Chains A and B, each alone.
Chain A
Amino acid sequence: MAQQRDEDNFRSQVEDRLDHLFQEDSPETTEEHIGLGEHPLKGLKAVLLSIDWEITDSTMDSLLNEIKNVEYVYSDDKIILTFLQLLGSIGRYVKANKGRAHPDATRVINSVYEALERVALNEGMSRAEKEKMLLEEVGKFKKLKEQVVLRKLEKKEPAVFEGTPPAAPAPEEKEIPVTESPAQEEAQVETRAEARFAEMSPHEAFAYALEEVKNVIRAEFRALRAEIKLWRESK
């Protein structure tokens, strides 16, 4: 009886402490969200949510089919069509490469879709705002494409991104200077290292990074020993 009372008391103290520690001051302040209801994007979103790391032909086919369906609905809207082209292009790349696809591909797909949803659902958004959002996503797409090409070059394999980048209204592109400064070379080395990382599976990349850290520590110790030796000899 006393033991039961003691346990209840203990439990109640834990509960009080947790209530105090994790008291939610205000109701959840979540962003106001417009539900999709029976919107044409509903099917596309459902497929995108189902795409996981283990990408299958059937999910990717569903994605490409959904993109076609939405393209049909928005055939008069060039901005939305360009968003859909971006999604289709990355979707085909992921389908072709599956587990070997660049890890950023799924992130860019999600980002493009989120922007597409905002543009499609927000009726009050001006054309300039929509174009700005589209340009941001085109930029991400181009960056991804560069990373994929770089990765393929490292492997000496042909890049498999299908088609050309969508013809979006793009800002003037600056010409890349041919001459390279040491900083640029260093950046290139880093990029190559990143590309090497990107083609490894995550646990391989971690093991590789760990090995590099070990090598650095060993080198530091060697240098330290040599310095101590020199110091002793000089005495």
Chain B
Amino acid sequence: MAIINLKKKEVQAKIVYYGPGRGGKTTNLEYIYKKFRGRIQTEMVTIKTHGDRTLFFDFLPIEIGRIKGYDIRIQLYTVPGQVKYESTRRLVLRGVDGIVFVADSLAVRRKENILSLKSLADNLASYKKSIVEIPLVFQYNKRDLLDEGIPLLPVEWLEKDLNSKLMAPSFEASALKGPNVVQTMKKIIIMTIGSLRKDLT
């Protein structure tokens, strides 16, 4: 749930990058942080294990500035993707306002993508939120590996597996190299702030 302080004219929205382990959620945030560090002027917080995996979450706050008299702040979070951290994922989703689902395009990860999306729907339901209603953007990551000749899932399959009912906006991206990382983030911010708009009167 976004924090909206009408008296101070402040809005704070929470966006969570969700998806299977090793899919590129942290890499998305790292790309944004490295590329725009000078402009966003905030610090990224990350807790990793020895094996470079996200243990609890990554956190990147972004000050959007004043719009229509409101100071708008966005908090970007990632969840740990590994199967065993279900409770941590649920915890990070508490109060979420928008979701980026980072799907892994590797052909061998098809099942993990589907399971992860199902866990997202279940976890949202535990907070009485619907995956159909919450602002959601799909990112089909690792598309750059196509140039390497690595077997990837065709985008049509990803759309059919994950997005056929939800019909959410989707982007083909490479979190490692940058294409569509920023576009994904912009889209989810616009959708999330748009969904909060009715409360800002």
Contacts and interface: CB of A to CB of B under 8 A. Distances in A.
A75 interface: no
Interface of A: 7, 10-11, 13-15, 17-19, 21-22, 24, 28, 30, 33, 35-39, 42, 45-46, 49-50, 52-54, 102-104, 106-107, 197-198, 201-203, 205-206
B98 interface: no
B71 to A, nearest CB: 12
B7 interface: no
B49 to A, nearest CB: 4
Contacts of B22: 52-53
B151 A46 contact: yes
A28 B84 CA distance: 36
Interface in B120-157: 145, 147-151
Contacts of A33: 147
B194 A11 contact: yes
A203 B55 contact: yes
5 contacts: A21-B39, A21-B65, A35-B148, A42-B148, A53-B51
Contacts, number: 104
A181 B89 CA distance: 46
Say what secondary structure dominates the interface of chain A.
helix
A13 B55 CA distance: 36
Interface of B: 21-22, 32, 35-36, 39-40, 47, 49-53, 55-56, 62, 64-65, 67-68, 72, 82-85, 88, 106, 108-109, 112, 145, 147-151, 177-179, 182, 185-186, 189-190, 193-194, 197, 200
A143 B194 CA distance: 52
Contacts of A50: 106, 108-109
B81 to A, nearest CB: 9
Contacts of B179: 28
Contacts of B68: 10, 13
Contacts of A36: 148-150
Contacts of A24: 35, 178, 182
Nearest to A198: B50
